[in-house]
């Protein structure tokens, strides 16, 4: 799964947040990371969990914008 942020300066903080929650977030572009889960879990479950984590990240960083992209 990919996450794109509006401002590339938000990527380091987002990557650190995701790493703390057992995700691997590899930067693949100036505003985009490829996200995977360390454990083997079904895609739809990982996506649902990732959406919840993004909501938590947005709550802590209301000025930042990030979205899942297909």
- pLDDT per residue as tens digits for the range 6-24: 999 999 999 999 999 989 9
- CA 11, distance to chain mean position in Å, is 9
Task: Please tell me the pTM assigned to this model.
Answer: 0.85
Residue-wise pLDDT for 29-53, tens only, equals 999 999 988 776 788 888 888 999 9
29 CB neighbour count, 10 Å cutoff:
11
Residue 11 confidence (pLDDT): 94
32: which residues sit within 8 A by CB, 6+ positions away?
2, 3, 4, 5, 69
């Amino acid at each position: 799964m990919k996450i794109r942020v509006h401002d590339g300066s938000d990527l380091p903080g987002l990557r650190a947040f995701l790493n703390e929650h057992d995700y691997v977030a590899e930067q693949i572009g100036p505003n985009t990371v490829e996200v995977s889960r360390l454990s083997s879990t079904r895609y739809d479950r990982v996506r649902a969990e990732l959406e919840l984590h993004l909501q938590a990240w947005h709550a802590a960083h209301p000025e930042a914008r990030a979205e899942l992209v297909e």
